[in-house]
Structure 1
Amino acid sequence: MAAPPRVLSSKLKALTRLRCEIFQTSYNPKNLRTGAKYLRGNLAGPAMANYYPKVISLSQLAREFPKMGIVDVKEAQRLQDVEDRKRRGKGTPKKAKTKADSRRSAKRR
């Protein structure tokens, strides 16, 4: 004679719970979505970073080896342009040290 379905299902649930404890898997009797499949997977970031070659620019070389005297022409021109703009008064505005110095508080008065 077979066991009634309720007794059988409760024993199967207990067996499943015990199996999950032993093999360190998640116990999910209601089959809810947990995202465990994606958490078990390998991370994509390191694989993608290793796929693309590292490109070294002239400015990186100049920063790495300052004694070699390498000059990045584009960077030198950019710095010269910034300096010219500052002399003409077109540079970036100074940061406010106090709340009274800020332009926003001056406008609200």
Structure 2
Amino acid sequence: MAAVAPSRLAALSRLRCEIFQTAYNPTSVRTGAKYLRARLRGPSMINYYPEQLTVPRFNHMAGNFKIQHWDEYQRLADVEEKKRRGKGVPKKAKSPAESRRQSRKR
């Protein structure tokens, strides 16, 4: 029985890859194809963890029942306290004359 030439085997392998739509890699170089073909993990992870119900999300739902969001209430109280002490956010300038930056320039 006669041996098949290596060039004929390479041509057969290339043709097989074209037909079955696989990557032709005669030198066995790492391509990462295994990871690119793998199923994505993101959607499964999103479905695994339940959607958390927060106070703002609950308040946006249909219905007249509202819950006091204590963290937001505390934050607003802290902002108000800082304003009373003069430590709040500076007011926006309505015109270039009111701008602090303009008054520094000479």
Same fold (TM over 0.5): yes
Unaligned runs of 5+ in 2: none
Query: How well do the aligned residues superpose, as a CA RMSD in angstroms?
Result: 2.9
- The yes-or-no answer on 1:78 pairing with 2:71 is no
Structure 1 CA distance, aligned partners of 2:58 and 2:71?
A: 14
1:36-51 mapped onto 2 (5 Å cutoff): 36-51=33-48
Count of matched residue positions in the alignment of Structure 1 and Structure 2: 97
Q: How does 1:1-109 map to 2 (within 5 A)?
A: 2-3=2-3, 8-65=5-62, 67-92=64-89, 101=101
Cα distance in 1 between the residues matched to 2:87 and 2:75: 15
Q: Summarize the Cα distance change of 1:67–1:12 in structure 2 as closer, same or farther, 3 Å threshold.
A: same
Residue 2 of structure 1 aligns with an amino acid whose one-letter code is: A
Counting aligned pairs with the same residue, the percent is 55
TM-score (normalizing by structure 2) = 0.72
